[in-house]
Structure formats: C-alpha cells, structure tokens
C-alpha cells in the first residue's frame, strides 16, 4: 500500500478517507495558499531552506508586502494522485551535472564578507562590449545579490561615463562604470575549489549543456562556497570564458546551459528574454491533479522576509496591494501519469520567474514532493524517513529547446529522470496500483 512507502505519518494527511477513494481536485491537508506554507518552522528559523533536506521541514514564510492574512488552504483531506511525465525523446541524451550560486544577504559583516569602502571605476573591455549593465555588474561584483545590483542601479549610484543609466543599458568598449562602496562576499581562494567535470549532454566550441544533480548550487553565494560554474572553471583552467546562461534552483536537477563565448552568452540570453526557448520540467506533486491540461497564468511577487530569506508568493487578484509589483508568470501543465495519491506532471514555462513552478503548483493546492520551502512538511518528512528515504525535491529540467547561437540550428536536448526519482515512481506505482 502507498502509505507504507510514504511512512506512517503521511497517513494522517487524509483522515476519514477510504484508501483508494479520491476526489478530483482533492489535495493534502497541509496544502499551500498563494504559494505560502500553512505550517513549518517559524520564519525566523536560522536553517537556510536551500540547505534543508526534504525531510527536515520548511521555514514558515513571512508575510509579503501587501499580503493579506489569508484563510487556511481550502484543500480537503483526501487522497492525492500521481502523474508521470514521459521523457520526451531528445536529439541528444543527457547525463548528470552539478552546481549553484546563491545570493548573499548581509546586515552585520561576517568573516565571509569584506567591505569595499571606496568607489570603484570599472573599464569595459572588448570582451564585455554589447553586454547589458546588470549582467556586467553581476559578473564583476562576485557575491553581490541580484537585488542589490538592481537597487544600486535604480538609485542612480551606478553611472556610465558619469551619466545615469538603467539595467538594460548596453556597454561599449572603453566605457567607465562607477560602482558605489558595497559589502560583498569575500572571494574564495580558487585553490579551495575542487575541479570537477559534470556529465555533458552537449558541447561544442560555443556552449556546454550539463545535467545538474539535485542538491548542488549552480554558483557560489551565501552559505555556498562554490557551485557548478566554479568547479567547472577549476577543472578547465585553459578555458578563457565560462559563464552561466541561466540558473536552476539548488534543489532542482536537470539541464543547465553554460556559454563558452561572450557572443554565445548574449545570443542565448536574448532567446530566453524573448521566450524563444522551450524548457520542460517533470514534477511529482501530492494529490490528484484535476485537469489533464491546465494553463496557470498567475503573477508572482518576490520579497525578502525579515529573516533575510527570499520568498515568492502568488498574487492572483488585481485588488491585492502588491499586484502592481507582481510579474506575470505563465506555466503550462499536462498530466503524464496519475496515481491515487500523486500526479506526475510535465510543466512548460513561458516565463522564467524565480521559483515559478514551485509556487504555481503550490498555489493550485498540489505542492511538489520533497519541496523544502513551499511543500508539505509532514508528508515530505514521512517520505524521507520511510523505506524509500526520498529526501530531494522531485523537480527535474528534462527538456531544453533552443537555437544554436552560431549555426542557427534548432537543438532539442533531454535529460532522463535521475535514478532516485525513477525508483520512487516504481515504488509508488506498485503501492498505489499504477502501471
């Protein structure tokens, strides 16, 4: 039976419901409302969510600016369902990869931080010509959170050739960029970074695509000394240029693009901004997903809680005080396999917002299995402590479609589900009467 896999405590999620009896749309008791957990540790918990294992429990998110105190999630005690995503065949097979970078939030300086008390003047070289100002600063200001970079640009503290500028200003060779004094993470000694090659799905002289494993940051940041990109640079000292094209959450596995040339980086990031790429994910969620297909078009708002952690919440109503700050976010959901207590979904994102899939699915009442931040704490803990010992988030970037930056050829790459995810599905199918 399914409960034997999840663990005894998971059975408490559906009191009074006969085993195997499900109702369309039913979700676990500890569902989330608006992408915000109803339970878990207090927001002030010191444990960093990115470092938590799936079974250790999420921190309770603080209320976002403008967020109204909401009612408990309307999820009924019922049995969830499972759906399985088929791995679309790829032109190229995937392997495994690693890494992640995290932002740094700081109030008081710590041993890992240094204060830059002077204004810095950065001269743009030919390799950075044509780059956006925000991307240039995020590369130059190692350890600076993205929010800080945009704040100093908006405030006018950053200047190009003594003139005001915006985040999308394009740089020319010889431009002088003024940067105000900042507190940044201390740059780690390269000798402390272990060189590591990750399983390569695709590689040529312009880019690399790797299959990042769950639990590995894409780059170094707060609480993380190094990630995929730092390890790859260490393993390839002869490489003149290696930069992340996009990011994946530390808890997410799957396809990650890395540019080997500035021109490739610009071209690929332009495709992402113009939504000319296709990214598909496999996600296992708690509960029975009601519709075979669904479009989730719900704006998302990023905010930093009083504990310094970054959170995202759904803003479904225009009368919400934070509606103007929220950004439109679109996810397309298709059920690929349904089980009595779980649904395996294929999610295609049309926008690339932070935590988009995780918050959208939680907002619909079906959080991702193993999600340590927006997920079902009790069910995840029971699963992690049960026979399967499944302690990761079941979200995998399985397919990536884009135009090659040099040849113009259409590429479609795929990465199969990691063994831990496949094993969980096999066990759930057997326990819940699936195929």
* Within a domain: 161: yes
10 Å CB burial of residue 412 (0-12, 13-18, 19+) is middle
CATH number at residue 161: 3.10.290.10
The residue written with tokens 């009191």 in the block is 15
Beta strands in 38-160 (DSSP E): 113-116, 120-123, 159-160
Same domain, 283 and 394: yes
With a cut of 80, say whether residue 434 has pLDDT above it.
no
Range ranked top by mean pLDDT from 30-44, 84-98, 122-136, 167-181? 167-181
Tell whether 335 is covered by a domain.
Answer: yes
Most confident segment among 110-119, 211-220, 334-343: 334-343
Q: How confident is the model at residue 191 (pLDDT cuts 50, 70, 90)?
A: low
The answer to whether residue 333 sits within a structural domain is: yes
Does one domain contain both 213 and 68?
A: no
For residues 201-219, b (16+ Cβ closer than 10 Å) or e, as one string?
bbeeebbbbbbbbbbbbbb
In a domain, 96, yes or no: no
Q: What is the pLDDT of residue 378?
A: 95
Residues 309 and 428 in one domain: yes
Please tell me which residue in 249, 371, 376, 391 is annotated as part of the active site: 249
Q: What is the DSSP letter of 138?
A: H
For residues 14-48, one letter each, b for 16 or more C-beta atoms within 10 angstroms of the residue's C-beta and e for the rest, the string is beebeeeebeebbbbbbbbbbbbbbebbebebeeb
Output the CA–CA distances (angstroms, integers) from residue 92 to 176, 212, 301, in the order listed.
Answer: 43, 16, 36
Q: What confidence score (pLDDT) does residue 55 get?
A: 45
- Where is the domain boundary, 274, 309, 341? 274
What residues make up the domain containing 7?
2-90+279-432
Tokens of 397: 């970037």
Q: Residues 384-412: pLDDT tens digits? A: 999 989 999 999 999 999 999 999 999 99
* Residues 41 and 126 occupy one common structural domain: no
The H or E element that residue 200 is part of is strand 200-203
Specify whether 310 is located in the same domain as 364.
yes
Q: Categorize the per-residue pLDDT at 333 as very low, low, confident or very high, splitting at 50, 70 and 90.
A: very high
pLDDT band at 169 (very low <50, low <70, confident <90, very high): very high
Q: Which residue has the higher pLDDT, 108 or 185?
A: 185
* Residue tagged 């995840």 (tokens): 380
Report for 208-212, 352-356, 383-387: range of highest mean pLDDT? 208-212
Per-residue confidence (pLDDT) for residue 195, from 0 to 100: 72
Residue 357 has pLDDT above 90, yes or no: yes
Give the tens place of pLDDT for each residue, 257-277.
Answer: 999 998 999 899 899 888 888
Q: What are the E-state strand segments in 117-199?
A: 120-123, 159-160, 176-179, 182-185
Is residue 152 included in any domain, yes or no? yes
- Kindly calculate the radius of gyration of the chain based on its CA atoms and give it in whole angstroms: 22
Q: Using CA atoms, how far apart are residues 211 and 77, in angstroms rounded to an integer?
A: 37
141 and 14 both lie in a single domain: no
Examine the residue annotation and report whether 249 is marked as an active-site residue of this protein.
Answer: yes
- Which tens digits make up the pLDDT trace of 49-74? 444 444 444 555 666 655 554 443 43
Burial class (CB in 10 A: 0-12, 13-18, 19+), 87: buried
Residues contacting 74, CB < 8 A, separation 6+: 31, 33, 365
Residue 120: per-residue pLDDT: 87
Give the pLDDT score at 203.
96
């Amino acid at each position: 039976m399914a409960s034997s896999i999840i663990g005894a405590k998971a059975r408490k999620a559906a009191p009074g419901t006969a085993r195997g009896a499900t109702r369309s749309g039913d979700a676990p008791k500890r569902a989330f409302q608006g992408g915000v957990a109803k339970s878990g540790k207090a927001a002030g918990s010191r444990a960093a969510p990115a470092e938590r294992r799936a079974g250790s429990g999420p921190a309770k998110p603080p209320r976002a600016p403008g967020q109204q105190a909401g009612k408990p999630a309307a999820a009924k005690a019922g049995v969830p369902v499972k759906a399985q995503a088929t791995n679309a065949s790829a032109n190229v097979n995937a392997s495994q990869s690693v890494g992640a970078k995290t932002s740094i939030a700081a109030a008081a300086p710590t041993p890992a931080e240094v204060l830059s008390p002077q204004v810095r003047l950065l001269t743009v070289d030919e390799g950075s010509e044509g780059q956006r100002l925000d991307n240039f600063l995020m590369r130059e200001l190692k350890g600076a959170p993205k929010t800080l970079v945009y704040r100093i640009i908006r405030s006018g503290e950053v200047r190009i050739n003594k003139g005001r500028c915006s985040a999308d200003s394009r740089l020319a060779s010889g431009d002088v960029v003024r940067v105000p004094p900042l507190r940044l993470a201390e740059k780690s000694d390269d000798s402390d970074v272990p060189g590591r090659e990750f399983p390569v799905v695709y590689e040529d002289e312009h880019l690399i695509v790797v299959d990042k494993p769950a639990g590995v940051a894409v780059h170094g940041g707060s609480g993380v000394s190094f990630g995929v990109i730092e390890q790859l640079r260490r393993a390839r000292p002869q490489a003149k240029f290696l930069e992340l094209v996009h990011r994946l959450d530390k808890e997410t596995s799957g396809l990650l693009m890395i540019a080997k040339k500035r021109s490739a980086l610009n071209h690929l990031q332009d495709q992402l901004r113009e939504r000319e790429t296709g990214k598909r994910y496999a996600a296992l969620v708690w509960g029975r997903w009601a519709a075979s297909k669904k479009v989730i078009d719900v704006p998302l708002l990023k905010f930093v809680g009083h504990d310094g952690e970054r959170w995202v919440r759904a803003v479904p109503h225009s009368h919400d005080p934070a509606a103007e700050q929220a950004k439109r976010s679109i996810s397309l959901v298709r059920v690929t396999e349904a089980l009595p207590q779980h649904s395996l979904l294929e999610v295609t994102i049309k926008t690339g917002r932070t935590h988009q899939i995780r918050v959208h699915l939680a907002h619909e009442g079906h959080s991702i299995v193993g999600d340590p931040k927006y997920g079902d704490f009790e069910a995840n803990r029971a699963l992690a402590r049960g026979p399967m010992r499944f302690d990761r988030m079941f979200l995998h970037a399985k397919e990536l479609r884009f135009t090659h930056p040099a040849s113009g050829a259409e590429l479609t790459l795929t990465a199969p589900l990691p063994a831990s995810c496949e094993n969980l599905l096999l066990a759930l199918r057997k326990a819940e009467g699936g195929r």
